[in-house]
A and B are shown apart, each in its own frame.
Chain A
Amino acid sequence: MKFTLSWLKEHLETSASLTEITDALTMVGLELEGVEDRAKGLKTFVTAKVVEAKPHPNADRLRVCTVDPGNGETVELVCGAPNARTGMVGVFAPGGSYIPGTGITLKPTEIRGVTSNGMLLSEREMGISEEHDGIVDLDPATPIGKPAVDVMGLNDPIIDIAITPNRGDCLGVRGVARDLAAAGLGTLKPLANGPVPGAFKSSIDVKLDFDADHASACPYFVGRLIKGVANGESPAWLKEKLLSIGLRPISALVDITNLMTFDLNRPLHVFDADKVSGDLHVRLSKSGETLLALNDKEYTLDDEMTVIADDNGAEALGGVMGGEVSGVTAETVNVFVESAFFDPIRTAMTGRKLNLLSDARYRFERGIDPAFLETGMEVATRLILDLCGGEPSELVIAGTNPIQGRVIAFRPARVHGLTGIKISNDEILRILTLLGFEVSGSGETWDVTVPSWRSDIEMEACLVEEVARISGFDNIPATPLPRDTVLPTPALSEIQKRRIIARRTLAARGLTEAVTYSFMGEAEAALFADVPDSIRIANPISSELSVMRPTALANLIQAAGRNAARGFSDADLFEVGPQYAGDLPEDQTIAAVGIRTGNTAPKHWSHAVTPVDAYLAKADCEAVLGALGAPVDKLQVFTDVAAYYHPGRAGELRLGPKNTLARFGEINPRVLAALDVKGPVVAFEIFPDAVPMPKAKTAARARLTLSALQPLERDFAFVVDTDVPAAKVVQAARGAEKTLIEDIRVFDVFEGPSLGEGRKSLAITVVLQPTEKTLTDEDIEAVSQKIVVAVEKATGGVLRG
C-alpha cells in the first residue's frame, strides 16, 4: 500500500517528521516496506523560462535557447528537444549538475560551434519516468527559479507499507491516518461528507435478486445517476497523486474511482448510463454466462458469482471488475455510479476461480466498511460534479447495511492479563475511542461497539490487541518464563534421542549428513517400493518431486551421482529422516539411511585401494544399533532382501524372525543403471524406532565379575561346503559349551583347489575364559572336542587336518 506524505497529511493533522511517522507505522502493525524520496539528486534543478529559442546556425534539429533560471543571469544552451520554444517554462540543470537519467555530470561544452551552459531536462533525464519525447513543459504561469522538485510535486516522499490480511480498513489512506492519530501522531481531520441533494429521481433502479440463502452475496447497494458529465482528463493534482502510487491516469471518472479506492477504501464502479438497458439487477451469475471485463478479457462464469446485470445480461462482476460494454469512455455523458457491499468470501472465490485480481477484489475480500456506502457515494458525487460537472439524481438504495453495531463484552483487566502491560482503564478507553470504538458501561466488563470498518474485530482478544499495539509493544514488560523445576527435565524423549545418536554415530564413522527432499520422482520411487496413490502429490512442483519418498536411499544415490559428476566419486552420505508408506501419521517412520560409494579411501601410499563392500555397510548398521543399545550379538542375519539390493550381497539384521532393525548390502546394479549412477554403491537402512526399549529404566549396570584367571585362545579350521554360512559355524561352536566360551572370531576364509570343488575353509578363534580354576590340558582337549563335534554335526564339515 503506497501513498505520499502529503496525501497522508490530507487526513492527518500532524507535526511529526517523516521518520517519526514511518517508525510509528511499523510499531502499530503497518510495517514499513520502504520510503522513496523522489527528490533525491534533483535538488539543484530549477524552473526556468526559455526567453528565446532560435534555430541553431549549424544544425537543423537543434535550437539555441536563452534561458532565464530566475537568478538574474540568463544562460545560453543548445537543446535538441522538438518542443523547445520561446516562452515555455522547463526544468533547468546548471553546469556541474549530475543528470540521473544519463549518469553524466554537465560541463560547459561547445555543440557545433555554439557554447552550451547547462541543460533543459526531460522526465527521463530527471530519472522520474520514461518520458523522453520532449523536455518537461510546465504551466507557463509557473514561477521561475524555484526548485523543480517542489513545483513538480516530487518533494513528497512515497511511503510503502505492508498491510496484513486483517487490516482491510488500512487499504485506504484515511484508515492509515486513523491508526496514526490513535497512536498519538496527530489528529484525524474531519471528512467533508455532507449529502449532495438529488435533483431528480434516477431512471435506473436497482434490484437485489437473491433468494434467502444467497442474500449475503450483495445485501446493500447504493447508486446514483449523474447526467450531463464531461469525462475529460483529470486535473494535474489528481494525475500526480495516482502516478505517485504507480497508477496510470485514464479519465476523470476512472481516476475518481481509483482515488476513492486508495484514499477512502471505497471501490466504486461507474456505468455509462446510456449503455445500460433497463434497471440493474444484482444476482448470481448463470452457468456459462460470459462477461467481457474492463481488462479486455472475456470470462465464462459459473452459477456462484455475483453479477450486476441489465436487460442485456451481466454488465459487471460484483466487487471484482466492471464490464467493457457498459464502461465509461471519453464520450460518456450520463453515468450511473455504484457503491455496494459484496460478500468477502464470494468475492474472493470469484476472483480466484477466474484468476482475476483487481484493486476492488483485494479490498472487498478483506471487508469493506458497510456503513460507508452512502457517505462514499456523496464524496464521489462531489468529486464528479467538481471535475466533470453534471446533475445528480437522488440516491438509489437497495437493501441495508448487513452488519450493524457489533458489541463485544470487554474486560479491561484482560489487557494486563494477556499482555502484562500495566495500563489504566482511562488510557484503554482513550485508545479504543480514538480507533472509533464506542465504549459504554463501566466496572469490570464494558460493552464495546466495533466500528463498521473493523470487520476483523471478533472478540475480546482482538480488543486487547488493539490496545496493546496502540499503546506500543515496547510497553510489554519482558518477563522471565517461570520454571516449574529448578533444573529442566530432559527435552528429548528416548525415541527422539535415538535420532541424534544415530546421526552423530554415523558422522563419527566418516559419513556426511545430507538433508534431501521428502519427495522424489515417481519412476525413481518405483525402483524402491510400490508407491500407493495416497502419497502421490496432486499438484507437484515438477515430475522429479511428485511422490513422497518410500526411502531416502534414492535421493542419496542420486546425490552421489551428482557428486561423482563433480569429480567426487567416493561419496559417503547419510540422512536421518522420514519415509512414507501411506498418508496416515503411523505410515511415516524415521530411518537412518546411508550409502558408501567408490573406494573406502582415496589412493594412499600406506594401503591398497579397496572398493566399498557390503561388510562396511554392515559395520555401519552394527555401530549405530550398538550405540542405540540394541543387542547386536543377538541379531540374526537374513538374506531374503528387497529387490533393490544385490540378491547375493545384502542382508537384514533382525531381532527374532520379524523385527527388522536394519538392512545393508550392495545396491542392485539394475537400480544404479536406472538412476544413472556408477557402482559400486553399498547402502544401509537403520530403523531406530524398531530397537526395543530397555526393559528396566535404570542407570545401574549389571554386576561386574572379573576373573582372576587368564583367558586362552584355541584356533580351529573347518572345511565346509561353500554355501554354509559362517554364522552357522560360529553358532554351532558357541553352543558346544555354555560356560567357558567367551568369544568366537572368524579369522580366515579360504577357498582353493587343495580343498576340492565347492569347499571352503573357515577358521575360527575360540576364546575360553576359565571361571573357577586354571584349565588343564585335558579340560581344553575336552572343550575342543565338543566344539569340533558340534560344528561337524551342524555343518557337515570336517576339522581341517
Chain B
Amino acid sequence: METPEQLRDILLKEAADADTLDALEALRVSALGKKGRITDLMKGLGQMDPDARKAAGQALNALKDEVAAAIDAKKTTLADADLDRRLMTEKIDVTLPSSPQADGYVHPISQTIDEIIAIFGEMGFTVAEGPDIEDDWHNFTALNIPPDHPARQEHDTFYLPGEHGERKVLRTHTSPTQIRTMTAHKPPIRIVVPGRTYRSDYDATHSPMFHQIEGLVIDKTSHMGHLKGCLIEFCRAFFEVDDLPVRFRPSYFPFTEPSAEVDIGCTREGGGLRIGHGDDWLEILGSGMVNPNVLRNCGIDPEEYQGFAFGMGIERVAMLKYGIPDLRTFYESDLRWLRHYGFRSLEVPGMVGGLVR
C-alpha cells in the first residue's frame, strides 16, 4: 500500500492526466468514493495510537481536500473546453441580413398639421373642425362674401346639388368653421382649424383638394399687434429659425378688416431656396382683424368683441420646410415618395422634445 505522500502524487497526476469528464468522475470515485483509495487509508487510522492517529488523520484530510480541489479544478477546465468545442460547432453566419421589420410612415401633411397644432396649442389654442360639404352661407355669405362679390368668383368652387334646391359647396377654405364656432360658442374663442379644402383648379401649382389651417381669436382686447406677435412666434417656431424675418403688408380679404398678408424672409442665393435672412420674401399667410360684419353675422356684437383670424396652406408650408418640390405628389400615394418624405411613428412633434427629430 502506498504512503499518503505517494498516493498524493499518483492521484494528482491522474487528475492532471484525465482528459474527459467521465475519466475524471471515475478518478473521483476511485480516490474519494466509499471504497476509494483515500478512504482505504482512512480506514487504517483506527489501528493507530491517538497521537499518531491525529497526525495521520490531519494529513489524510489535507490530502483528501487537495485531491478533491484538483479534481474540481480539472473538471472546470474540462467543462470549459467542452463548452468551447460545442460553441464552435454552433457558429452561425452573422453577416446574414436580419429579418426585416416593415417600416411604416406618417404622411407629411399629417405631420405638418401635428407640428402646427403643437405650436398653437402652446399658445392656448384648441383644435376645431367642420364639415367639408358646406352651404353657401357658411362658406361665403356669413364671411362677408355676398353672391355677386368678385371674390366669390375667384374661389373656383365645386358645387353639389343639395337636397332641397339649395346647392351645397365643397368648402373653398377652412373659414366656414370660424362661423360654426362663433355661432355655437360665446367668446373668448381661440381656435385653430386644420382641414381639407377644395377648389376647381388643377395644374402644376394647384390641386383640386388641398389642406389649410385657420386660426381665430375673439375676445375683448386682441388687436393686430397680438396677431403680429402670435404669427411671428409661430413662423419662427415652425421653421425653426430664431430670428426669421417676418413681414406684414396690407392686403384684402372680405372677412377681415384691416387685412394683412404675411411674408417670411428667404434667399435663393446659390440656386436652392433657404428660409431665413435674405434678399427676398415668401408669402405664407393671410390674416387680419375679423370684419365686424362677420361678427355680426354670427351674433357677436363688434362693439364688445374683436379679434383676428389667419389662414395658410399646409402643403405650402410643408413644401417650404421639407423641400418638397411638387404639390401634386402629395396625393399620388407613391410608396417611394411616402417613404422619402414621410415620418416615423414615434416622431411625435411637440414643443418639449422639439418639432423635428
Contact = CB atoms under 8 A, between A and B. Distances in A.
Whether A and B are associated in the same complex: the answer reads: yes
Interface of A: 26-29, 31, 164-167, 345, 348-349, 352, 365-366, 416-421, 459-462, 464-465, 468-469, 473-474, 476-485, 488-493, 496, 500, 503-519, 533-541, 545, 548, 555-556, 559, 562-563, 566, 568, 571-573, 576-578, 580, 583-585, 587-588, 601-602, 604-607
6 contacts: A26-B249, A420-B226, A461-B289, A469-B258, A507-B104, A566-B336
B199 to A, nearest CB: 10
A541 B208 contact: yes
B230 to A, nearest CB: 5
Contacts of A548: 132-133, 160
A566 B334 contact: yes
Contacts of A559: 332-333
A345 B148 contact: yes
B158 A514 contact: no
Interface of B: 96-107, 109-110, 114, 117-118, 120-127, 129-133, 148-151, 153-154, 158-163, 167-168, 170, 188, 192, 196, 198, 200, 202, 208-209, 217, 222-226, 228-230, 232-233, 248-252, 257-261, 289, 291-293, 306, 330-336, 338-339, 342, 344-346, 348
Given A516-B331, A536-B160, A541-B208, 16 more contacts: A345-B148, A418-B258, A419-B289, A421-B224, A480-B233, A485-B124, A488-B123, A493-B127, A504-B346, A507-B105, A510-B101, A512-B105, A519-B208, A559-B333, A568-B335, A585-B133
Most chain B CB neighbours (cut-off 10 Å) among A474, A513, A534, A584: A513
B333 A514 contact: yes
A580 to B, nearest CB: 7
A165 B150 contact: yes
Contact of A541 (B104, B200, B348): B200
B338 A500 contact: no
Given A164-B251, A518-B209, A473 B260 contact: yes
Given A165-B150, A517-B331, A538-B161, A511 B259 contact: no
B228 A478 contact: yes
A535 B224 contact: no
Contact of A167 (B222, B252, B261): B252
Nearest to B202: A541
A514 B151 CA distance: 33
Contact of A418 (B104, B161, B289, B338): B289
A473 B223 CA distance: 13
Contacts of B248: 473-474, 476
A512 B257 contact: no
A479 B233 CA distance: 10
Nearest to A542: B202
B103 A510 contact: yes
B121 A488 contact: yes
Given A507-B344, A588-B131, A606-B99, A29 B333 contact: no
Contacts of B291: 461
A512 B217 CA distance: 35
Of A166, A352, A493, the most chain B CB neighbours within 10 A belong to: A166
Nearest to B101: A510
Given A365-B150, A515-B109, A541-B200, A481 B217 contact: yes
Contacts of A511: 102, 104
Contacts of A366: 150
A165 B152 CA distance: 11
The 7 nearest A-B residue pairs measured at CB? A420-B225, A510-B102, A29-B250, A491-B121, A465-B258, A164-B252, A559-B333
Contacts of A518: 132, 170, 196, 198, 209
Contact of B160 (A26, A477, A583): A583
Given A513-B110, A517-B208, A585 B130 contact: yes
B229 A478 contact: yes
A472 to B, nearest CB: 9
Contacts of B230: 481
Contact of B104 (A484, A488, A509): A509
Contact of A512 (B126, B200, B289, B338): B338
Contacts of B104: 506-513, 572
Contacts of B129: 496
Contact of A473 (B196, B249, B331, B335): B249
A538 B102 CA distance: 42
Contact of A462 (B124, B153, B257, B346): B257
Contacts of A485: 124
A504 B251 contact: no
Contacts of B109: 515
A419 B306 CA distance: 11
A474 B247 CA distance: 8
A583 B168 contact: yes
A577 B330 CA distance: 15
Contacts of B333: 514-516, 555-556, 559, 562-563, 573
Contacts of A588: 131-133
A469 B228 contact: no
A461 B257 contact: yes
Given A512-B342, A537-B159, A484 B106 contact: no
B251 A465 contact: no
B258 A571 contact: no
Contacts of A515: 107, 109-110, 330-331, 333
A492 B225 contact: no
A538 B258 contact: no
Contacts of B209: 517-519
A732 B123 CA distance: 55
A418 B224 contact: yes
Contacts of B107: 513-515
B243 to A, nearest CB: 13
Contacts of B149: 165
B225 A479 contact: yes
Given A420-B223, A488-B122, A352 B106 contact: no
Contacts of A166: 252
A492 B127 contact: yes
Contact of A465 (B106, B150, B233, B259): B259
A576 B110 contact: yes
B334 A562 contact: yes
- Centre residue among B126, B162, B344 by max chain A CB count within 10 A: B126
Contacts of A580: 132-133
A491 B117 contact: yes
Given A419-B225, A492-B127, A515-B107, A508 B100 contact: no
A514 to B, nearest CB: 4
A73 B345 CA distance: 78
Nearest to A606: B99
Contacts of B338: 512-514
A469 B260 CA distance: 9
A491 B126 contact: yes
A513 B170 CA distance: 24
Contacts of B289: 418-419, 461
